[in-house]
A and B are shown apart, each in its own frame.
Chain A
Amino acid sequence: MDAAIEVRNLSKSYGDFRLKDVSFSVPRGYIMGLIGPNGAGKTTVIKLLLNLIRRDGGDIRVFGLDNLAAEMEIKARLGIVHDTPFFYEHLRLATVAKTVAPFYRDWDDGLFRRLAVEFELPLGKSFKALSRGMKMKFALAVALSHKADLLILDEPTSGLDPVFRRELLKKLSAFIQDEGKSVLFSTHITSDLERIADFITFIRNGEIVFSSPRDEILGTWAVVKGGPELLAAEHRALFKGVRHGEFGVQALTQDGAEARRRFGRGAVIEEATLEDIMFYISRENGHA
């Protein structure tokens, strides 16, 4: 499959944090969700993709090109939303857009104005007058206005109200309908990804836990609920994370089918959500 992003054995150390041999790829024409708890390394991966920080090792290819050697060519085709929008606070939104537009050959001012109306952005107001959600909307409008081939969004839905979040997700789905366009979307709000992501990469403590198609993940991972017998020695290897509750034991397994075969009616087995997976795996080894 043709890849929009291909990351191989990426590593980076800062102080006591280490990104260890991270590898994943975002196929062209799809949405990849990057999930993980705070401090897992999601923003570090995005900054490395954008060459905002230097890697210690590994390779990054975007559109098949090395991200350092072909930096300009790649960035001309990217739409970016940082976790904190870094625009000049005192400038009016229309002025900020004017400072960005000349850098993109395909900047479409008509599209920007339409998005501004759709997102209810007050173009005459200064950036500092906006709420966090509105700042994010503005950053999104800028990222979508130059017909990028790849959107890289770092926590774009944080601070957005649920109505706009849904609209944004719809917009992203429509974006990839245009052949060859792709999205890398980092978020804590895993329910957003369950709606739109085609692939999920889960990162924890700087390491990739998995990077797979969403349907495969949701079809295989399961939460098993039952009595203490679930924790019998022969079953322990089946579970990735265990929670002891008032009414018994709940555990996450990567092999729902095997759990069904082993426990049958002796346990309640439910499909795991991305949030369940993140929760149980993050608790494993004390990383809650």
Chain B
Amino acid sequence: MIKLMRRGFIQHKKIILSIGILGPVYMGYFGSRINNILLLMVFCGFLYGIMPLILFARDDKFKADAFGLSLPVTRREYIGSRYLLSWALMLFLFLAGSLLMILVPGGKLTAAMVFNPRLMLITLAFLTVNFGCLMPLFVRIGQVGLLAFLIGLQVLGVLLMVFRNIGSLAVVKKLFHLIPDGITAVQSALGLALAFPVLLAVLALLTYVSFEISVALFRRKEF
């Protein structure tokens, strides 16, 4: 798996460096200009969750998987290396982006606000759910399919705005609040010291389920 990660890193080095520099800079600037920190963290969760897929879209473009799977590796290892590389990138973006939000001159956020454990958990939860859903989808439908799916979501968002008077927007709002409300509920039931590791374990489990689904889908894929 390490060999595959190394290969992935070398193959995508330029893109990883570009994302690794531009992503945090963008989020740092964006973060310094926004008042609603919860909304900012939710946005981070979505943005960071999409970034790794840019790398694997390039595998599709160069049909690199056909050669990759001719090497002595299993399909499980192949997907495993993608998850590890993605999480390494996403955690880096999360930490570097959060740090820059504080450091940008004239910013409105303080370290206490950004590195608030509850807020970090909410961001991580959005990141996990977003990436955990997108990765199996990407494995199944590829870059073009995923792009179509994301555009579809945008269109759906616009339609919901248009028809917000029929109450659909309230449903979406509720959906988005599920994660912060759930985290708050667990926190008040267990206390912060216990809630933090428990929720992290839940996120790890979600990632594992997503990984298993991706492996099952990848095993059915033909090159």
- Is A86 touching B63 in the complex (CB atoms < 8 A)? yes
- Is A103 touching B73 in the complex (CB atoms < 8 A)? yes
- Is B72 touching A52 in the complex (CB atoms < 8 A)? no
Stretch of B5-13, B22-30, B119-127 contacting A (4+ beta carbons < 8 Å):
B5-13
Q: How near does chain A come to B32, taking the closest CB pair, in angstroms?
A: 34
Residue B173 is within 8 A (CB to CB) of chain A in the complex: no
Measured as residues with beta carbon below 8 angstroms from the partner, the interface class of chain A is 20 to 34
Binary per-residue interface labels of chain B (31-71) against chain A in the complex, 1 for a CB within 8 Å, 0 otherwise: 00000000000000000000000000010001111110111
Q: How near does chain A come to B83, taking the closest CB pair, in angstroms?
A: 19
**Complex CA distance for A87 and B64, rounded to whole angstroms:** 6
Residue A99 is within 8 A (CB to CB) of chain B in the complex: yes
A90: B residues at CB distance < 8 A: 14
CB-CB under 8 A for A104 and B72, given A47-B223, A84-B63, A88-B64: yes
A72: B residues at CB distance < 8 A: 72-74
B7: A residues at CB distance < 8 A: 99-100, 102
**Complex CA distance for A103 and B68, rounded to whole angstroms:** 10
A52: B residues at CB distance < 8 A: 66, 69-70, 222-223
Q: How near does chain B come to A88, taking the closest CB pair, in angstroms?
A: 5
Binary per-residue interface labels of chain A (185-208) against chain B in the complex, 1 for a CB within 8 Å, 0 otherwise: 000000000000000000000000
B66: A residues at CB distance < 8 A: 52, 82, 86
**Complex CA distance for A95 and B12, rounded to whole angstroms:** 12
Interface residues of A in 75-95 (CB under 8 A from B): 75-76, 78, 80, 82, 84-91, 95
- Is B64 touching A103 in the complex (CB atoms < 8 A)? no
- Is A53 touching B222 in the complex (CB atoms < 8 A)? yes
Among B10, B14, B62, the residue within 8 A (CB) of A89 is B62
Residue A50 is within 8 A (CB to CB) of chain B in the complex: yes
Q: How near does chain B come to A152, taking the closest CB pair, in angstroms?
A: 9
Report the nearest B residue to A51, measured CB to CB: B69
**7 additional A-B residue pairs with CB within 8 Å, beyond A99-B11, A102-B6:** A50-B69, A73-B72, A75-B70, A86-B64, A95-B10, A99-B10, A103-B3
**Complex CA distance for A73 and B71, rounded to whole angstroms:** 10
A50: B residues at CB distance < 8 A: 69-70
CB-CB under 8 A for A91 and B73, given A82-B67, A84-B63: no
Name which of B7, B72, B220 has the most chain A CB atoms within 10 A of its CB: B72
10 contacts between A and B (CB under 8 A): A47-B222, A53-B223, A75-B72, A75-B73, A86-B66, A87-B67, A88-B58, A95-B10, A99-B11, A100-B71
- Is B62 touching A86 in the complex (CB atoms < 8 A)? yes
B74: A residues at CB distance < 8 A: 71-72
Binary per-residue interface labels of chain A (243-274) against chain B in the complex, 1 for a CB within 8 Å, 0 otherwise: 00000000000000000000000000000000
Question: Tally of A-B residue pairs with Cβ under 8 A?
Answer: 66
Name which of B3, B11, B70 has the most chain A CB atoms within 10 A of its CB: B70
**Complex CA distance for A7 and B58, rounded to whole angstroms:** 34
B63: A residues at CB distance < 8 A: 84, 86
**Complex CA distance for A47 and B66, rounded to whole angstroms:** 9
**Complex CA distance for A102 and B74, rounded to whole angstroms:** 15
B14: A residues at CB distance < 8 A: 90
B62: A residues at CB distance < 8 A: 86-89
B11: A residues at CB distance < 8 A: 88, 91, 99
Residue A236 is within 8 A (CB to CB) of chain B in the complex: no
A104: B residues at CB distance < 8 A: 72
A53: B residues at CB distance < 8 A: 222-223
- Is A103 touching B69 in the complex (CB atoms < 8 A)? no
Residue A170 is within 8 A (CB to CB) of chain B in the complex: no
CB-CB under 8 A for A98 and B72, given A52-B222, A54-B220, A86-B66: no
Q: How near does chain A come to B72, taking the closest CB pair, in angstroms?
A: 4
Report the nearest B residue to A52, measured CB to CB: B223
B3: A residues at CB distance < 8 A: 102-103
**Complex CA distance for A78 and B72, rounded to whole angstroms:** 9
**Complex CA distance for A154 and B106, rounded to whole angstroms:** 61
Q: How near does chain A come to B69, taking the closest CB pair, in angstroms?
A: 6
